Structure 1
Amino acid sequence: MAKLRQMNIVKSPDEIENDEIAKHVLVDVKKVLTHTKAQRSKDSLVTKHIILAAVSGESVTENRCKKKLASKLEVPIRRLSGECMKQRKLILESTHDRAIVEARYPIFKSQADMFAETLCPKGTNKEHYKTECLNRKCQNCGVANLLLMPEENDTTDEAIEVTWEKCSAREEIQSSYFQRTEVSLHVSIIYRHAVLEYDGKDSTTENPNIIKEHFFVVSNDDKHDHHFVHEVQNQIKEYLNSISYNVSTMHEYTDGCQCQYKSRHCMGDVSNGQQDFGYDRLIRNYFETSHAKGPQDAAGGYVKRQADLAILRRKATIQTAHDFYKFANENLQETRDSSVCLRRVFRFIDNIDRNRDRYFKSIPQNRNIHQIISEREGLLSVRNLSCYSCDSCLLNMAHSCQHTELVGLVKNIQTEKERGCAIVEDISPDDDFEVVDMIRKGSLVASYTDDEGEDF
């Protein structure tokens, strides 16, 4: 056997016990981390919780301390379980001098308290036990300090039978073996005047009441482009129509993300705002490109955090984008009175219509532009900076701005669609047309032939 142990073929009893202890230590660490993650608070990250788990974790104590204690007391392991405290409570209830007996045989709230009874006291002004006590090298420590009642030492057939049972939720580690489902969440913050029939209060010129709402659009489409933003704008317009809120001028404030808000295609979409949404004027103002800096990021982070906590606490099962929308729409619409918004509105988009003729040619120096105004279809008024300080701009007369030396002059830009981006209906075979009818001045024509000796 000694030769086999040297060759690592057979493990010694001590090695087997150490392996078992190591396995249970990993189980304890997993439990602590899972609990800390579910708490999501700074207090749950205090180091003492991890130290406590390392010193007196439940799995370690059940595997090592419990066996040693039971063998030294020469009693079955079941006598040291949590059921033992239940038995002790029953015994104390039938005792006349319960206070005196309970002072000698206390009821432990946890196994850690039971194990602490076998150690020397911490002493005054000390938070931890001595190292020699924890390592069981102290002569004064031991299971002899743990007093058991005569009824608890009963090993006859009439003794109360105690069984060990453990229930734990199944945990799946999501790693590279699993594909993570992603959800697109577009957050908009709406400021509007109150509607008496919908909000319970009215807003007038003399007494304006401004309502703040968080508007969320959930989709399983992960392509964030100007088509996605256009669909979000359409959802907002439909929501405002549903509450009978008429909008003549829509003011938008976005960051400078190129693919979503500031590319030539995005600006071209704004130039068609009157045609698409029925606004008299659509004004978009650009901030600098930033991440996790504005209130919209905080609103989106709150919704995602609540969904994350609901999954961890097993209050919801979210596997698809529609599941996320359903959870949020059922649980997160209402807000507290002290909340920063009156309500949260959720909409779900399954498919994004990208078969649109909304691809435009380049707009000169679009990076320097921080305000665009839709004048009519295909026409934009642009300037380097926004102005909401002078009376002219407040009355939608940007061309008469009183701060042109600061924000720059207003320029008119005619947006032009790219060729070939228009949607053309299928031409039936019965329609007669000539190739010459398809050619215009300045068109480039390429010919192809299979004849030998020809260059094309």
Structure 2
Amino acid sequence: MLHKKPLQKNKLSKTKALSETKSAIKQRLYNERRKQQNLQKDNKKENRRNYMNNYRKRIRADLTSTPKSDEGIPFSNRMDKARSIKKLKQALPITPNKRAAVLSAYVDCNRILKSPGVKKFHDSFEESVEKMAIRNIQDVITSVKHKRNGEAKAALNILTSSVSGENISDRKRATKSLANILGVNSRTLQKGKKNRTKVLHSEHSSFLYTTRKTRSDALTERTKRIVHDFWLQSNVSRPTNNKNDIKRVRISPNVYSSHSCYILEKTQTEVFLQFKNEYPDEKIGQRAFEKCKPYFVRTAQFKDKVTCCCRQHVEMRSLFKSCMQFRKRLLSREGSSEVKLYESLSELVDDTLCTRSANTHQHKISCLDRLCSECGVCKFSMLPGELDESDVQISWERYEYKNVKVKGDKMIRKLVLVRKSSSPAEMFQYLKKLLETFPAHQFRAYWQSKQMKSLVENLPIGHCVTVHDFSENYKCTEQNEIQSSYFQKLEVSLHVTILHRHSVLEYDGKDSTAEEPNIVTEQFFVISPDQKHDHHYTHCVQNLVSEYLKSINCEISVMHEFTDGCSSQYKSRHCMGDVSYSCSDFGYATILRNYFETSHARGPQDAAGGFIKKQADLAVIRGTHVIQSSSDLFDYAQSNLSTTADSSKCSRRIFRYVDSVNRDRDRNFLPVKENRKIHQVRSFDDGEIFVRKLSCYSCQSCIVGNYSTCMNDAQLGTYNKIKMVKESEHNDSDADSNNDEGVDDETNICDFVSNGTIFAVKADDTDCPYYILRASKDPIILRKTATDKWGASYHQGNKVIHGYYFNTIDNNPFKLKLLKRIPAIVPALSVIYICSEVDIDDNGLINLNESLHGRILRCLDHE
């Protein structure tokens, strides 16, 4: 026994040592988890067993219970119903289609449909959630629509606004049906639509969208409102010039808020620093400040630049804004009500004109031209402070001609925007000066565009409308461009013509008749390496268009052309002379050329030319094509851009290539009086045209060609006949008359010009009706074609004078300086006055006076 005790002690100590190992601890944990899992399984089995026992008890209770007395349920219990359904399934066909057909035919029986069970089944099926919701809305509207308190009206407005979404309000029938269902008038739903629009398209909705983006515990509502309004200040952001530039955001499911976009005039950091200077007590960081920015305010981008704007409109709007801001400050100080603070420029223009005609809803031409004695700029009344010529300086902007140095010492005269600082009287007097011509200019721009749209919509059979324009030259680029190629890009000339004609059955697949007209729109491009855009190039384009129309068997008797007022391309005396010979050149019965108002000729033709150049640049950047010449551009465009998208209004694109333009034509003519005021030219016979100050396609007579019975003659004036005389014919007649035995007593004024004579010549410029020159030679008759440094060309046989122009100094029309480095050539017949009393000093300066200026203008009036 004494020997066993130590053995037992050692055995216990050994067991205790083993229980502390990792494997023993892991085994004990595993055993405990197994016990818990087994316990959970036993509990689940017990719960399942209890559930099934309870379920069986309920089934037995249902089978043994008495049948329910509900009407329409013929079964005594559920088992009876199950057995009947089982018998029906066994009797029906096996295939699903036949089963459905048999059941459908059986249920459609009138006796079956009248049974209470089927009727109750249909009623419960049609009782949908939507109908219950509409029923609830009906109940609320019925209870509040006859009440007159504010809460009832607010509830009615909320309900009508909620159900007047785009799915209902855009459909007239749906609106009427919904009004009948809800028991209200259709006008009530229309009012709801207006309320909905106010909520979703207002400044308040944009502010709510901004407040949702920030933390509610970070900024107060007052601070958010201050920041929101600060971003919209005139010195921080401004609206874009594009009315279609709209920003749209989602504020809730299927609910959107929209607003016109604003462009920042400075960086966001500068805006934040300006805010901190004006509101130093507002504690807000830059990131939180930027988060409170309205969603429609964005930074300026390159696409926001607007080009080819009208000088008169840009200058007038800027000046009107400056004048009204100054007037607003005056009225706030003085509190006078004698003058009106105009909200828009059109409101100011209307106040200086007579009321519009009741028939045409337009102002009279005499009022627009400021020839009416009952209206005028005198109706624009001003405050005494606006006529102040004291030392008070205000800042405003206007356009002025400035001498700009380019490429060395060469000086050019350029129109630039100048910021002025002068007295209020000078600014308001300049506004009144612009008001003299602005209404007529605005009306001509609107009228000419309207006439083209009217003509295209009512185009007679056998007539065609073309819109001509030179696109900006395409500059050839390369994917991997070396330095010399970057600074010396080859340019390609691109002329665009938009064609509107009646469809041809053989070519377009659809015929066009007077009863069912089908107008086809095409884009016609002429690509050429010739970069001289003159009337010879335009004549070449006209010839290509005529050949294309003949090739597709499109018989055109009357051609209507619409162009801009560029003098060298479409509106000079040579261009009008070309129109007089166009019928014999192209085979038309009549051709009419209509001119858009100055700086208002932008349209689809500009977009068409830009599309071609953009696609060509993308092809070069992608590396799919190499375009290094005009022929490369033509090949790429013809093979890849001839077809258009199905959604496009343009049917196809036609491309033509011209290697060189024929300029050896005897088509130089004598000047046409006041050709800048002409907006329509109609061919009559070779060398004869009819001109009109404005086009007319609003009356049916002018559309069909009965121009003598125009209904708008009283408003637009009548046609004037002009004889176009070629310069060569005129010079030949002068030479013949000089060779006669009897010398004509009447001597041309150009015969008094000699070397060193200072004289005035007629100019085709509305801003400057004449130019002053100094002759460097006696008048001569050219033996060959000559071109001066200003780009003017004259053919053999023309009588010309070589000399140098004078240019104004500091925009002073009576102080001029001789431009000695740029020789000029002018027609001898353009001389209108010899300035014999003018002396020139050693620096080439001359001084005119008002008396001499008036005599030159009187000579122009007698031309």
The TM-score bracket by the shorter chain reads 0.5 to 0.7
User: Structure 1 422/326 Cα, relative in aligned 2: closer, same or farther at 3 Å?
Assistant: farther
Aligned to 2:559: 250
Q: Distance in 2 between matches of 1:201 and 1:391?
A: 26
Give the distance between the partners of 1:277 and 1:411, measured in 2 at CA: 24
CA RMSD after TM alignment: 2.7
Which residue does the alignment assign to 1:419? 728
Residue 287 (1) aligns with residue 596 (2): yes
In the TM superposition, residue 173 of structure 1 has moved relative to its aligned partner by 4.9
The residue number in structure 2 matching 1:334 is 643
Q: Distance in 1 between matches of 2:695 and 2:601?
A: 23
For normalisation by structure 2, the TM-score amounts to 0.30
Q: Deviations over 1:26-85 (max 9, x none)?
A: xxxxxxxxxxxxxxxxxxxxxxxxxxxxxxxxxxxxxxxxxxxxxxxxxxxxxxxxxxxx
Match of 1:189 among 484, 488, 498: 498
Evaluate the alpha carbon distance shift between residue 411 and residue 332 of structure 1 in structure 2; reply closer, same or farther with a 3 A threshold: same
Q: Alpha carbons of 1:326 and 1:363: their partners in 2 closer, same or farther (altered >3 Å)?
A: same
Q: Which residue of 2 aligns with 1:389?
A: 698
Larger Rg: 2
Structure 2 residue aligned with 1:214 = 523
Stretches of structure 1 lacking an aligned partner (at least 5 in a row): 1-168, 424-434, 447-456
Structure 1 CA distance for aligned equivalents of residues 632 and 479 of structure 2: 21
Q: What is the match of residue 319 of structure 1?
A: 628
1:402 Cα deviation (Å)?
1.3
With over 3 angstroms needed to count, the CA separation of the structure-2 counterparts of 1:288 and 1:356, relative to structure 1, is same
Runs of 4+ in 1 over 4 A off after TM superposition: 173-178, 420-423, 435-438, 440-444
Per-residue CA deviations over 1:380-425 (Å, capped at 9, x if unaligned) read 11110001112221221222211112211111111111027999xx
Distance in 1, matches of 2:609 and 2:596, equals 19
Q: How many residues align?
A: 267
Cα pair distance change 1:317/1:347, threshold 3 Å: same
Cα separation, 1, equivalents of 2:577 and 2:703: 24
Distance 1:332 1:356 in 2: 34
When normalised by structure 1's length, the TM-score is 0.55
| Aligned-partner Cα distance in 2 for 1:382–1:347 | 32
Change in 2 beyond 3 A, CA 1:369/1:233: same
Relative to total residues, which structure has the larger strand share, 1 or 2? 2
Q: Structure 1 residues 286-295 or 185-194, which shifts more?
A: 286-295
Q: Residue 365 of structure 1 aligns to which amino acid in structure 2?
A: E
In structure 2, C-alpha distance between the alignment counterparts of 1:228 and 1:204, rounded to whole Å: 34
In 2: Cα distance, 1:174 partner to 1:412 partner? 57
CA contact 1:203–1:210 (8 Å) conserved in 2: yes
Cα-to-partner distance string for 1:332-354 (whole Å, 9 max, x where unaligned): 00111011200000000001000
SS at match of 1:405: helix
The structure whose RCO (Cα within 8 Å, separation 6+) is larger is 1
Relative distance call for 1:232 and 1:298 in structure 2 (3 A) is same
Alignment-derived partner of residue 532 in structure 2: 223
- Give the match for residue 239 of structure 1: 548
1:183 match: secondary structure: strand
Q: In the alignment, which residue of structure 1 is the partner of 2:680?
A: 371
Specify the alignment match of 1:355 in structure 2: 664
3-state SS of 2:576 partner: helix
1:52-451 alignment runs, 5 A limit: 171-174=480-483, 178-290=487-599, 293-419=602-728, 439=739
Instruction: State the alpha-carbon separation in 2 of the partners of residues 170 and 392 from structure 1.
Output: 56
Equivalent residues of 2:634, 2:655 under 8 A apart = yes
Q: 1:316 to 1:290 in 2, by over 3 A?
A: farther
Which has more helix, going by share of residues?
Answer: 2
Mapped to 2, the partners of 1:409 and 1:292 lie a distance apart of 24
Whole-Å Cα distance in 2 between the matches of residues 249 and 422 of structure 1?
34
Give, in angstroms, the shift of residue 292 of structure 1. Answer: 8.1
- CA deviations 1:92-139 (Å, max 9, x no partner) are xxxxxxxxxxxxxxxxxxxxxxxxxxxxxxxxxxxxxxxxxxxxxxxx
8 Å CA contact retained: 1:253, 1:285: yes
Partner of 1:125: none
SS in 2 for 1:363: coil
Distance (whole Å) between structure 2 residues aligned to residue 387 and residue 291 of structure 1: 17
What is the CA–CA distance in structure 2 between the aligned matches of 1:199 and 1:223, rounded to whole Å? 35
Note the residue ranges of structure 2 that are not aligned, 5 or more in a row.
1-477, 752-863
Shift of 1:436: 8.5
